[in-house]
Structure 1
């Protein structure tokens, strides 16, 4: 009996094993019906999962997918790329444009209370939030070599992921696709967008219905964007530094820059009007104290809730997190980029400027939305305006206000070249992550931009 049926049984077991490995390493997903801290079932469709990419699917990228609450068959699909690099999309999901947020006043001890966000972008679009690059959030690698990545490699991984994800979600194959994100993703998003256009042109499958990209307060060119901090904050140093504030060897310039550093060291660069302070010592043990303490409020205090919530075993179980794949969850890993920082052990900052990718995209049938919170000193809007000017696009309209509820929400300019269009806008009163500071205005902005070029009329 063993001799007659052994090979058949062996082959059957091999097939079964391959199927199990395939379902685990290539793509697995969980439909999340409820979450700890939220009262009742979720009133929107939330899917989480992993997509395996790289050699032997060694890299496992975690995602949150929120289906449009309006018309998922017709509404755009946004692929959301977090900043950092090395930050989780969790921050966008809970603090910027996602469907949920923390109720700070009702949260007690180690049990954050979760509530709906009235300004979720899922009201007008489906959003695929990615924990990328590998090592961000709940993403992980099976091998030590899989943890090593770069700007170009991470961009390629996202392209591969989107193709795999769409193959597994064919109902969204015809939806308009936009690549979106904030901050450091300004380096990656133009690369990813170009990869998709190029892949379509050489016949890669599936053909992705790419329409454009949208980036907030982006890092685009290291020299331009970091140089823009000085004239944004302190214009008089122009006299001695000749516009180069990062590399100047001029003694007088160095003296002036030291004075600038002294003036700005206590300014919160993510929003220059908010307090510069450190998170409360009691934040982790009792988040309720954040809003009862006599100490100055810090925005960083709000982020304590994410660490407590995401490290909760019940939360990870609900999200379908694979047991043992991560240790302590962190909002951002140590790859987070600073000017002049050398490559880390796991990440190579090998693209200093993404301007050339923007220029390449001006020859595509492509739309771009670039928006800047005008109180951001991380990547001030004046630097963004400078690199946009370097694209030499035709000006369709320049510096006109747009409105939300009869109030000026920002100022926009519209540019074009053949089938390419770019809308640049400021968000009045917003900081570095504009949707976090001005969620109502940013929802109106993206809804209008999806339906037309100008933000002004609606």
Structure 2
């Protein structure tokens, strides 16, 4: 006997989520008053079979949204939430660094956000990152190729629902492991343009910070860097060392996340926030640069935060800043060929490196750039902010620019927000660093 159509409706709604659902956010828990920028959050369905939905944050440019470029930002990991980009790197929010006392951490405005001059989409990708989820467990098994295809599908569907941004200059961007995915996604966009895919995107280029490539030089350069920075002696040159690799000047700090089972105890999604204090031994010191990471767990896992962001109930049990337990396979052995293909086609590229990063040292990045065999158009020189050296840069043929950011670590905008905003603004507006 056939089932009534009405009885099938809930099943159909569950198995076939809408392509995109979105909401405008005017207030956030922990932030005093209305937000001084336009924030949108939402989901985009990118795999109807498994029910994969990628969560995103979108901030309109604070200058001229209609004409300013559109940036799709991908964080590292793989598995680091887009909220890291929003609150620690290029977004308009940042935490007040004060000792956690059980109350909801406070947020303030970041005056050096890239959203001052650009529209920015930050996406929780790959699935299982941040608030992105799959309705079928098989959907969580992904790799570089699947993730790139899903990101491209995300962008395509997002633009269909936001047609006012289709003509804006488009740039694909990201750092760390995200820097490996960026050129792959950008290539898919470029191929889609050549094939006439709808919507026809206005891709102008891409930018990556301290990017992974998959090449051995990413990590082999660590010893060379440590030796050059006088961290290891000549005698220890060939010996691996234990250091804080993201920023070599950081003090030694404990982990930047609470002992979650003890800290939250399943109470973090209660309807009203009450003081939740983890055991004293899990507290990092306030002097640690990563202390705001610690605060982010208590903010993002609060019931009121989930409600404000319109996170779908029952989809993500507990938010983690970086989910390193993903069923993820790195099947793109090297992204260098993608860099070559894009730049040979004339797309603009900015590759920047925090010069105190030993996770992906600038020496390794320079090595793979040299392997492209591009001629040098503007040789090594300093670039400046407020009359001070902010880093060094070199411009190559085929619209490729390399820049270092002085006294910056693995995620450069986190360490030098003002200088990185100026670097980004100069480059994105076709100026000179």
TM-score normalized by structure 1? Answer: 0.84
**SS across alignment from 1:303:** helix
Please show how residues 150-161 of structure 1 align to structure 2 within 5 Å: 150-161=143-154
Instruction: For 1:395 and 1:206, locate their aligned partners in 2 and report how far apart those are by CA, in whole Å.
Output: 36
Aligned CA distance change for structure 1 residues 17 and 281 (closer, same or farther; 3 Å): closer
- Aligned residue pairs total 411
**SS across alignment from 1:110:** coil
Unaligned stretches of 5+ residues in structure 1: 1-6, 237-252, 336-343
Instruction: For 1:282 and 1:204, locate their aligned partners in 2 and report how far apart those are by CA, in whole Å.
Output: 45
Aligned match of 2:204: 211
What is the Cα deviation at residue 234 of structure 1?
Answer: 1.9
Contact 1:99 1:122 in 2 (8 A): yes
Aligned match of 1:192: 185
Q: Is 1:59 matched up with 2:35?
A: no
Aligned match of 1:351: 332
Compare 161-170 and 14-23 and name the one that shifted more: 14-23
What is the Cα deviation at residue 20 of structure 1?
Answer: 5.7
Aligned match of 1:315: 305
What is the Cα deviation at residue 86 of structure 1?
Answer: 1.0
Please show how residues 375-390 of structure 1 align to structure 2 within 5 Å: 375-390=356-371
When the two chains are superposed, the root-mean-square deviation of aligned CA atoms in Å is 2.8
Contact 1:227 1:383 in 2 (8 A): yes
Instruction: For 1:396 and 1:350, locate their aligned partners in 2 and report how far apart those are by CA, in whole Å.
Output: 34
What is the Cα deviation at residue 407 of structure 1?
Answer: 0.5
What is the Cα deviation at residue 108 of structure 1?
Answer: 4.0
Instruction: For 1:324 and 1:186, locate their aligned partners in 2 and report how far apart those are by CA, in whole Å.
Output: 31
Aligned match of 1:113: 106
Instruction: For 1:182 and 1:282, locate their aligned partners in 2 and report how far apart those are by CA, in whole Å.
Output: 25
Instruction: For 1:435 and 1:202, locate their aligned partners in 2 and report how far apart those are by CA, in whole Å.
Output: 35
Q: Is 1:415 matched up with 2:391?
A: no
What is the Cα deviation at residue 55 of structure 1?
Answer: 3.5
Contact 1:26 1:57 in 2 (8 A): no
Compare 48-57 and 155-164 and name the one that shifted more: 48-57
CA displacement, residues 187-245 of structure 1 (integer Å, 9 cap, x when unaligned): 11111000000011011111111111111111113301101001111269xxxxxxxxx
Contact 1:107 1:113 in 2 (8 A): no
Aligned match of 2:266: none
Compare 423-432 and 52-61 and name the one that shifted more: 52-61
Instruction: For 2:309 and 2:142, locate their aligned partners in 1 and report how far apart those are by CA, in whole Å.
Output: 26
CA displacement, residues 105-139 of structure 1 (integer Å, 9 cap, x when unaligned): 38642310111001011110010000000000000
Contact 1:63 1:128 in 2 (8 A): yes
Aligned match of 1:4: none
CA displacement, residues 76-105 of structure 1 (integer Å, 9 cap, x when unaligned): 000001110011111110011101111113
What is the Cα deviation at residue 299 of structure 1?
Answer: 2.4
Aligned match of 1:136: 129
1:331 to 299, 303, 321: 321
Contact 2:50 2:139 in 1 (8 A): no
Which protein has the larger Cα radius of gyration, Structure 1 or Structure 2? 1
What is the Cα deviation at residue 424 of structure 1?
Answer: 0.4
1:274 to 250, 265, 274: 250
Aligned match of 2:272: none
Aligned match of 1:365: 346
Structure in which a larger fraction of residues adopt helix? 1
Instruction: For 1:177 and 1:100, locate their aligned partners in 2 and report how far apart those are by CA, in whole Å.
Output: 23
Contact 2:20 2:44 in 1 (8 A): yes
Aligned match of 2:383: 402
Aligned CA distance change for structure 1 residues 68 and 296 (closer, same or farther; 3 Å): closer
2:97 to 101, 104, 109: 104
Aligned match of 1:245: none
Unaligned stretches of 5+ residues in structure 2: 264-275
Aligned CA distance change for structure 1 residues 428 and 125 (closer, same or farther; 3 Å): same
Contact 2:15 2:48 in 1 (8 A): no
**SS across alignment from 1:362:** helix
Instruction: For 2:48 and 2:257, locate their aligned partners in 1 and report how far apart those are by CA, in whole Å.
Output: 43
Compare 309-318 and 296-305 and name the one that shifted more: 296-305
TM-score normalized by structure 2? Answer: 0.88
Please show how residues 194-343 of structure 1 align to structure 2 within 5 Å: 194-234=187-227, 256=236, 260-261=239-240, 264-265=241-242, 267-279=243-255, 297-335=287-325
Q: Is 1:450 matched up with 2:431?
A: no
Contact 1:51 1:60 in 2 (8 A): yes
Aligned match of 2:273: none
